[in-house]
Amino acid sequence: MTASREIHLVKRPDGMPRESDFVVREVALPELAEGQALVQNLFLSIDPATRPRLTRGQDLNAVLGGFALGRVVRSRASSLKEGDAVRAAYGYRERFVADAKHLTKVDADPELPLSVYMHVMGGAGFVAYGGLVEIGKMKSGEQVFVSTAAGSVGSIASQVAKLKGCAVIGSTGSDDKVAWLKSLGLDAVINYKKEPIRDALERATPKGIDVYFDNVGGEHLEAALRRMNSLGRIAVCGMISTYNDQQVGVRNLSAIIYGRVNIRGFVAPDFMHLYGQFSKEMTGWLKNGQIKYQETLFDGIENAPRALIALLNGENTGKMMVKLAG
Amino acid sequence: MTASREIHLVKRPDGMPRESDFVVREVALPELAEGQALVQNLFLSIDPATRPRLTRGQDLNAVLGGFALGRVVRSRASSLKEGDAVRAAYGYRERFVADAKHLTKVDADPELPLSVYMHVMGGAGFVAYGGLVEIGKMKSGEQVFVSTAAGSVGSIASQVAKLKGCAVIGSTGSDDKVAWLKSLGLDAVINYKKEPIRDALERATPKGIDVYFDNVGGEHLEAALRRMNSLGRIAVCGMISTYNDQQVGVRNLSAIIYGRVNIRGFVAPDFMHLYGQFSKEMTGWLKNGQIKYQETLFDGIENAPRALIALLNGENTGKMMVKLAG
């Protein structure tokens, strides 16, 4: 019988989550039935979207939901064999047994490190790509503003926008991240912790903003609304600023009327038809070194709550993951 | 030499405008040059959109901008003759001289009262129609919420949505208006002054909201965001609640992400291609009595500031206009 450890939510956080809101539980895994596989997770994806679910949606005393990338250890399913890479939404676990139909086989390019299938080649990359192309209707030559531009989604969005011929303005929260983003070729980078975003964005966008890829909401969104060009598009991927705190709210939404601005929330299933195009373009960019990425790795399932809190505090650069022993 | 009186803004209001922010000035009109016409205004359109321009956009000590409907008194332009009905954006004036190219001849149906070309058959009707059809992408059978449903735009939007096969929920601010809206066949009507809009809207929308035609912003928009169905559309025509006051802001915008909601500001020029279809359908509905309307009329140019303040206080039912002596 195989054992696994997993993270459970035991208390709903009020504001920023604390480590004591979570526990590590050890469980015994069932034997494999026909059509099932045993998966060893290698990378847990740590995502901002987990935060609102802690308040509503995530059950208490149950495994914390989330995505992971792993390898098949044993299989009784004809579609999977030992060593296959798979992605699944089975939560914060070391190992698990699942029906093969709930596992997505990852056709990993052998020239790329496996972990990129958890971010640039995974959900983060696809959301960045589709959010700009399909939701933001970005066109070459436009002015694109990306918030949390050094984050896992933001850093890809920023680079995709550059590769597609746009001027890109990014915001981030530390000088190290500013330096990294400048090295990626962004046209302007704002450290919003050093200066009010409103003033900094006004200076950084002399040509206004045609597309705002929003990961933040709140003050960033207010500042962007002041700078949107006529018929501008705001693709809302996340609103991390609103997940933990009582909010003041966005006070200048009426700017969208005369600006005829379109604000649209989205999730990846809205543009699955772009997946093939995304996969092909992004693989090429990665192999050519045209897309750079960074990873922040915490080690061991027991550190997953710390990783989530660090993410919500903006302590990561690039994709936050927890690495599990293979 | 012909005289005219006109309204000037002399002080930018802080919050709700006061009559003392405006003055009536008498001016002498120039003689007609070739290609010009003298117009006698009959109806001034009093519009919420004037409020934000008082803060920014409207010059001090200059005629207050706005639309009016009048008749040609004398013409030296081949395209216009005495008695022609014309619409123009020449501001709050009794009479004026203008180049014919700045006047829009109104092809008024003789079976309809002329004043409807200032609202149901004018900008308000067209904005209501296009806002639902083009921006809201309203489909038969959907749930449509209209705020300030008894206003000039809202009352037409509510009835058009009914005529197009939707269930319509309206909000308004008095029992008289509730009664009128019920008489128009709305499925549910909320008096937001009697109960928090959030609670009332939750009860009135058991099937959620597919299209929100927003004239209000603020708390109405927050309440609607809580009730939007997946892939819902919010067509933002106005945000009257945000024009006068320091605002708390909209605090639950992140609801648009998982709901994949589209919030879009618009103005009528965005859908001019619908004008012919609108004009034909609306004329038919009016002649058949399928579209009802109300007018609130103030008399005389000197009462135009009072009319504007009354409008911003929600004292009108249906279209607010100032009637000028013919």
User: Is B287 a domain residue?
Assistant: no
CA–CA distance from A240 to each of A158, A243, A281, B253 (Å)?
18, 5, 28, 11
The minimum CA-CA distance between B135 and chain A, rounded to whole Å, is 10
Residues B308 and B221 in one domain: no
Please give, rounded to a whole number of angstroms, the shortest distance from the CA of B295 to a CA of chain A. 25
State whether B250 and A254 contact (CB < 8 Å): no
Does B262 touch chain A if contact means CB atoms closer than 8 Å? Answer: yes
Average pLDDT, chain A: 94
**How far is residue A285's CA from residue A163's CA, in Å, rounded to a whole number?**
9
Residue in A52, A239, A249 nearest the CB of B248: A249
User: For position B157, what pLDDT does the model report?
Assistant: 98
Residues B253 and B131 reside in one and the same domain? yes
Range of the domain at A115: 3-119+293-323
Here the CATH number for the domain that contains residue A127 is: 3.40.50.720
The per-residue pLDDT for B326 is 61
What ipTM goes with this model? 0.76
pLDDT at A192 over 80: yes
Choice among A26-40, A51-65, A312-326 with the minimum mean pLDDT = A312-326
Do A42 and A81 lie in a common domain? yes
Nearest-angstrom CA–CA distance, A305 and B2: 80
Q: How far is B134 from chain A (nearest CA, A)?
A: 13
Residue B73 shares a structural domain with residue B60? yes
Task: Give the chain B residue whose CA is nearest to the CA of A250.
Answer: B249
Residues A139 and A255 in one domain: yes
In a domain, B200, yes or no: yes
**More reliable by pLDDT, B152 or A263:** A263
A242 at the B interface (CB within 8 A)? yes
Which residue is closest to B264 within chain A, CA to CA?
A262
A195 and A88 inside one domain: no
Residue A249 has its nearest CB partner, among B250, B256, B258, at: B250
Of A212, A312, A305, A307, which Cα lies nearest the Cα of A263?
A: A212
pLDDT of residue A326: 61
CB atoms within 10 A of CB A20: 10
Alpha carbon separation from B43 to A119, B9, B75 (Å, rounded): 61, 20, 20
Asked if residue B278 belongs to a domain, the reply is: no
Same domain, A108 and A63: yes
Does residue A275 fall inside a structural domain?
no
State whether B238 and B198 are in the same domain.
yes
Coil, strand or helix at B136: coil
Distances (CA, A) of B58 to B8, B91, B207: 10, 11, 43
Domain count of the fold of chain B: 2
A222: closest chain B residue by CA: B249
Per-residue pLDDT band for A86 (boundaries 50, 70, 90) equals very high
DSSP string for A231-280? EEEEEE---GGGTSS----B--TTHHHHHT-EEEE--GGGGGGGHHHHHH
Do B138 and B214 fall into the same domain? yes
Chain B residues inside the 8 Å CB shell of A147: none
Whether residue A278 lies inside any domain: the answer is: no
Partner-chain residue, chosen from A238, A257, A264, that has the shortest CB–CB distance to B236: A257
Question: Using one digit for the tens of pLDDT, what is the confidence trace for A97-112?
Answer: 999 999 999 999 999 9
The alpha-carbon gap from B287 to the nearest alpha carbon of chain A, in Å, equals 32
* CATH code assigned at A42: 3.90.180.10
B264:A262 CB<8 A = yes
Q: Are residues B150 and B247 in the same domain?
A: yes
Q: Do B87 and B197 sit in the same domain of this protein?
A: no
Residue B210 lies in a domain: yes
On chain B, the residues whose CB falls within 8 A of the CB of A237 are 257
Picking from B251, B258, B263, the nearest residue to A263 by CB comes out as B263
Residues A14 and A109 reside in one and the same domain: yes
User: Measured between CA atoms, how close is B173 to chain A, in angstroms?
Assistant: 21
A244 domain-assigned: yes
With CB atoms and an 8 Å threshold, state whether A253 touches B270: no
pLDDT of residue A317: 78
Q: Is residue A242 part of a domain?
A: yes
Q: What is the mean pLDDT of residues A4-14?
A: 96
> Residue B244 has what pLDDT?
62
In tens digits, what is the pLDDT along chain B, a chain of 326 residues?
Answer: 689 999 999 999 999 999 999 999 999 999 999 999 999 999 999 998 899 999 999 999 999 999 999 999 999 999 999 999 999 999 999 999 999 999 999 999 999 999 999 999 998 999 999 999 999 999 999 999 999 999 889 999 999 999 999 999 999 999 999 999 999 999 999 999 999 999 999 999 999 999 999 999 999 999 999 999 999 999 999 887 776 655 678 989 999 998 999 999 999 888 999 999 999 999 999 999 999 999 999 999 999 999 999 999 988 878 999 999 76
Q: Which of A250, A259, A270 sits opposite B253 (nearest CB)?
A: A250
The pLDDT, as a whole number, for residue A35 is: 96
